[in-house]
């Protein structure tokens, strides 16, 4: 009987703190500039790998996958065939190493990152697969080689592999590290050689289901303008106070999704007729003489969250919100509930609200639910109310991570 190796990997969700569309690259992709952040909403992937005479791959969802099997969800939205990025990652990895061999691979995915949310859940799973196979083969590929493979799988996969807080350029796959994890730490994490469990186990999100409870309104909520970009008045952090973690509430409409190609096409059309105001122009209007990413990064590194929030934003909101009005209503409700800032991530539909602390994030959820219960002005999509799932999360300093290895 062939020995089986079980490798468990966590892959975090990703949000965009800033997102700018700069134009088109020579290859036809859009040129973007974005500050990306890993957050503590995690998929957990278990790879059972053994040598075999004939190669086989079986991908299945764990029955407790909150993101796929919630009431009203569609589990088949998660592909389990050759089109899954996990399968593509396996094929790409095996084609990139010397002396690959036939494998029997069973992958169980506990899916907590919502499907179709713009949170890079699929890209994170691809990054997890690259780490798992590199672990199984004893680390033949170093961190730069893994990153090069990741870029072939998708624009977000290199970030999901490395994680933390990164500046993304080009298609978003050209990364500049801006905090915390050293290159040596990343290289070590990308090619583990021994059985281990990470101290990040406490961040596993199998129990990190969306908080859908309605509760009483909190006293600190404010009724600010619906289109206000940031809630500066409620920011309480001084310039000298450095906060290690950022805290957020993620809001995902349960059925609504936004097609990224459509969002880019809509942006290009508005640019042609001069109907957009870029995030860079908005930041200049706020009296900031710096690129949004540079200003946000500098102030986050110095611990001045209140000032960094002035540069947060997303160019896509100008084309997505008019078409999907419920998303703008979600942002409005978070601002009124006391969020420090609130923006869409990527091309949507997920909205993130910035909180002062984990406690404040939970307060925002309670206030959001209380207002949701009494606010009858929510614009519904698909002729019915689309339920909103809320996830309290915090920032992470790394991306996909091997947390357990066992041979049997």
CATH code: domain of residue 124: 3.30.230.10
Please check whether residue 213 lies inside any domain of the structure: no
Domain that holds residue 85: 4-206+397-407
Kindly state whether residues 363 and 403 are assigned to the same domain. no
Tens-place pLDDT, residues 149-168: 999 999 999 999 999 999 99
Distance CA 387, CA 344 (A): 17
195 and 247 together in one domain: no
pLDDT given for residue 59 in this prediction: 95
Are 387 and 240 found together in one domain?
yes
Contact (Cβ atoms closer than 8 angstroms) between residue 382 and residue 324: no
Alpha carbons 250 and 349: distance in angstroms, whole number: 10
To the nearest 10 degrees (0 to 180), the angle between helices 85-94 and 121-136 is 30
**Residues 147, 183: one domain?**
yes
Residues 258 and 198 placed together within one structural domain of the fold: no
Q: For residue 384, what pLDDT is reported? A: 56
Give the CA count within 13 Å in the CB-facing half-sphere of 188. 9
pTM: 0.82
pLDDT of residue 68: 52
Residue at 167 is within a domain: yes
Shared domain check, 198 and 285: no
In this prediction, the residues of the chain whose per-residue pLDDT falls under 50 are 69-73, 180-186, 188-207, 212-243, 379-383
Query: What's the confidence (pLDDT) of residue 100?
Result: 86
Residues 110 and 190 in one domain: yes
Please write the tens of the pLDDT for every residue from 10-31. 999 999 999 999 999 999 999 9
Q: Which residues are catalytic?
A: 14, 156
Statement to judge: residues 375 and 401 lie in one domain: no
Structure tokens at 170: 């080009």
Same domain for 374 and 315: yes
- Give the 3-state secondary structure of residue 150: helix
DSSP element (H, E) containing 135: helix 121-136
Gap between the Cα atoms of 398 and 163, Å rounded:
4
Q: What is the pLDDT of residue 157?
A: 97
- pLDDT score for 258: 94
CB-based burial label for 138 (10 Å; 0-12, 13-18, 19+): exposed
Write out the DSSP string of 215-233: -PPPTT-----TT-SB-GG
Q: Extract the tokens encoding 226.
A: 């619906």
324 and 251 in one domain? yes
Question: Which CATH number does the domain housing residue 366 bear?
Answer: 3.30.70.890
pLDDT of the residue at 50: 95
Asked if the structure places residue 273 within a domain, the reply is: yes
pLDDT of residue 210: 64
In a domain, 358, yes or no: yes
Is residue 80 within 8 A of residue 62, CB to CB? The reply is: no
157 within domain boundaries:
yes
User: Is 181 a member of any domain?
Assistant: yes
The answer as to whether 100 is a domain residue is yes
Q: Do residue 52 and residue 201 come from a single domain?
A: yes
Using the structure block, give the residue that is written with the tokens 């050689």: 193
Q: Which of 400, 345, 346 is nearest to 124 (CA)?
A: 400
Based on the structure, what is the number of domains in the chain?
Answer: 2
- Is residue 364, in this structure, part of any structural domain at all? yes
Summarize pLDDT for 256-299 with one digit per residue, the tens.
Answer: 989 999 999 999 999 999 999 999 999 999 999 999 999 999 99
Q: Looking at the structure, do residues 149 and 280 belong to the same domain, yes or no?
A: no
Compute the distance between CA of residue 86 and CA of residue 80 in angstroms, rounded to an integer. Answer: 9
Report CA-CA distances (Å) from 331 to 142, 277, 403.
41, 19, 35
88 membership: H or E segment, kind and range: helix 85-94
């Amino acid at each position: 009987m062939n020995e089986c190796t079980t490798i468990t990997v966590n892959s975090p969700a990703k949000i965009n703190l800033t997102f700018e569309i700069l134009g088109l690259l020579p290859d036809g992709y859009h040129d973007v500039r974005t500050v990306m952040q890993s957050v503590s909403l995690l998929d957990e992937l278990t790879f059972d790998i053994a040598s075999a005479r004939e190669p086989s791959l079986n991908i299945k969802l764990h029955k407790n996958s909150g993101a796929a099997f919630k009431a009203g969800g569609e589990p088949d939205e998660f592909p389990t065939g050759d089109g899954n990025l996990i399968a593509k990652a396996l094929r790409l990895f095996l084609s990139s190493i010397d002396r690959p061999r036939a494998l029997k691979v069973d992958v169980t995915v506990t899916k907590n990152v919502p499907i179709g949310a713009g949170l890079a859940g699929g890209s994170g799973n691809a990054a997890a697969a690259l780490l798992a196979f590199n672990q199984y083969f004893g680390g033949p590929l170093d961190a730069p080689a893994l990153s090069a493979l990741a870029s072939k799988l998708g624009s977000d996969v290199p970030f999901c592999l490395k994680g933390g807080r990164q500046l993304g350029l080009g298609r978003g796959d050209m990364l500049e590290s801006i905090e915390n994890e050293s290159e040596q730490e990343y290289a070590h994490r990308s090619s583990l050689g021994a059985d281990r469990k990470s101290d990040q186990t406490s961040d596993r999100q199998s129990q990190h289901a969306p908080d859908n409870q309605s509760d009483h309104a909190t006293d600190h909520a404010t009724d600010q303008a619906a289109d206000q970009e940031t809630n500066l008045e409620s920011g309480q952090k001084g310039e000298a106070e450095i906060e290690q973690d950022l805290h957020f509430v993620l809001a995902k409409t349960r059925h609504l999704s936004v097609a990224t190609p459509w969002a880019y096409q809509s942006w290009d059309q508005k640019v042609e007729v001069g109907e957009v105001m870029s995030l860079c122009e908005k930041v200049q209007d706020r009296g900031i003489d710096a690129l949004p990413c540079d200003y946000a990064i500098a102030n986050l590194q110095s611990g001045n969250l209140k000032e960094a929030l002035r540069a947060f934003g997303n160019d896509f909101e100008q084309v997505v919100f008019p078409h999907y009005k419920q998303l703008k209503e979600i942002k409005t409700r978070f601002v009124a509930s006391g969020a420090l800032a609130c923006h869409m991530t990527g091309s949507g539909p997920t909205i993130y609200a910035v909180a002062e602390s984990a406690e404040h994030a939970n307060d925002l959820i309670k206030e959001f639910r209380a207002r949701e219960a009494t606010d009858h002005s929510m614009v519904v999509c698909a002729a019915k109310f689309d339920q909103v799932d809320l996830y309290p999360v915090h920032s992470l300093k790394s991306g996909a991570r091997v947390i357990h290895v066992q041979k049997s």
